Amino acid sequence: MTTTMHLAELNIGRLLAPTDDPRVADFMDNLDRINGLGKRMPGFVWMMEGSGEPGTGNTENAIGGDPQFVSNLTVWEDVASLEKFVWGTIHKQFYERRQDWFEIMGQQHFVMWWVPAGHKPTLEEALDRLDHLNKNGPSEQAFGWADLKDAQMWQSHGCSHVAAE
């Protein structure tokens, strides 16, 4: 019997300013809208949630106790579903403006890996995968868009490593 595998992804970034600062207001004001869209997409499986307080998204899941260091952790049925959300919806417009709200990261800030269907990764697990990717490069443990043979949309949408996604 073959286990169905789903695609997990972690995306981290450090906001340029606190979540209540006008400099990141466009980002914060649209978190619920974009996250809600993702949850309604075909192929969406699961998302790490915050408190559910309107306008906070997952920003309460700060990394290292730094409230400006935020994360997004989701699981998708397949590569095509995640790609469609990232580059085939209004999310793309926010992705293209990420430098307006996030600091430039010195190392890789995005990682993907396969998980058995039904598995909900923890933030700690996801950060371990990101650390593995940064220390060892792409492998079955942790990889990026370029390592997925089925990924195609990312190639034409210029996945940049300079700012948080």
Q: What is the CATH number of the domain that holds 11?
A: 3.30.70.100
> Is residue 142 over pLDDT 90?
yes
Q: What is the pLDDT of residues 89-127, one digit of tens each?
A: 999 998 899 999 999 887 889 999 999 999 999 999 999
Q: CA–CA separation, 9 vs 11, rounded Å?
A: 7
Q: What is the pLDDT of residues 13-72, one digit of tens each?
A: 999 999 899 999 999 999 889 999 999 999 999 999 865 565 555 556 678 888 888 889
Please tell me the total count of domains within the chain. 1
| Domain assignment of residue 46, yes or no | yes
Distances (CA, A) of 10 to 7, 47, 76, 114, 142: 10, 10, 12, 12, 10
| Domain assignment of residue 163, yes or no | no
Are the C-beta atoms of 61 and 70 separated by less than 8 Å? Answer: yes
| Domain assignment of residue 86, yes or no | yes
| Domain assignment of residue 18, yes or no | yes
- Check the CA dihedral 52-29-163-46 and report its sign: positive
| Domain assignment of residue 10, yes or no | yes
| Domain assignment of residue 162, yes or no | no
Q: CA–CA separation, 130 vs 127, rounded Å?
A: 5
The answer to which of 3-17, 40-54, 131-145 has the lowest mean pLDDT is: 40-54
Q: Which domain holds residue 91?
A: 5-156
State the pLDDT at residue 153. 63
Classify strands 110-116 and 69-76 as parallel, antiparallel or unpaired. unpaired
| Domain assignment of residue 34, yes or no | yes
State the pLDDT at residue 160. 46
DSSP state at residue 108 = -
SS3 of residue 136 by DSSP = helix
